[in-house]
Chain A
Amino acid sequence: MIIIGENIHVIAKAVSTAIREKDSSVIGDLAKAQTEAGANYVDLNVGPMKKDPEENMRWLVNTVQEATDLPLSIDTMNPVAMEAGLKACKKRPLLNSASGKTDSKAQMLPLAKKYNCNVVISVMTDRGMPPDVDSKIESIMDTVTYANDLGIANEDIWVDPIILPVSTAGEGQRFTVANLEFIKILEDVLPGVKSTVGLSNVSNGVPSELRPLLNAVYLVMLAKNGLYSAIADPLDKDLMRLIKGESPKEVELIHKTMDGGDVDFSTISRKQVEYVKTAKVLMGETLYSDAWLES
């Protein structure tokens, strides 16, 4: 599993302040910490970057490259900032992200070709978010075909099915189940493409102390179905242990749960029970509530 470290993110106040004030120590420390924790890429999520996009992005990329040798994921919807970022990268970057929207096809996908980089392409189109597995597949096939015509190979495309919060009233679990299914069949419909997800969104809106559990278990489940990479928090030790194969017993329990096997709670630890209960929620077997561990 390729982990794209999510911690340099403008929504974090410290990060937005550091970019504005060109404080290289804050940014450098975040890059180093993620590298040491085992991330494979560092994501630079700068949002729309309306002010001085070229200069700011160049500074950010150079600052991060002084702190780490990892390749970067340039994460902005501003094509000017995107190009400045890709241009400044020493290693082959990841363009994060393009989609099937008209603007994105016209502006982002040509950049992926021009800079010969890997590119995240989401299932989003001008019609918005496709509601189910079939329509997600249909949308992504159209956009990938478009990218292929521009000369971008399947091997350079990382498909993003868009993760939505499991806690969304009544509907969230339908989304988590659909994305598990999507990842499972992706290789069959688009051989050679890779995949990625914005993992943490699955736990958006959930009490904060419970979020890491949902993130970690969902990542194990997606990995079982063939997920290639995830934008996630590499500083989450539990998640990294699970995904790097250091907790094989726990991973096995989650897999067994996905396969419909019965798990005897009296023989496993409290933490393991939590993993099983969480897997059952994410696969749609138990109805979600914020108290899912308590029943």
Chain B
Amino acid sequence: MSVTEPVEVPAELRTEIERHMALYPDSRSAALPALKAAQRVHGWCSPEALEQVAAVMGVTPAYLESVASFYDMLETEPVGKHSVYVCTNISCSLRGADELFAAIKDAAGSDTEFNVRPFECLGACDIAPMASVDGVYVGPLSIDDVPRLLDDLRADRPVLPEKQLSKRACADAEANA
């Protein structure tokens, strides 16, 4: 094992990682929650973030970089703080997702607050085309919704409240009969 310099870890981050480690028979299982926690603190899985997680978990930073780079939601480059994942997989694209993504990307322009990404199927084809905005599913979206979506985000308001998936009833008419 290589000898590394002692790494300073923010106390809250250390506590959160340790809490996750305690949940599993093998503490290594906490890699994903730990990396997500570090990403929240640092904005992305930067080398510094990886070294901090490594120091708490007792694994190498290389191991964590390997893990982080495998998963779409872990960022290995600096990104904007608001994530806008636009589903561009088949069901959404059949309903205009590619145009929607282009419109959001275009509207966000060079604003570094936003991390607008095309994403694989987000599991919400019933509200296609849709996006996950900081983890909140909204849809079906039209190009007309784009300015308000970004404005809501800029203003820290709930995004497109009436289009949030959580408000939607089951499509099966007999389900609630």
B partners with A? no
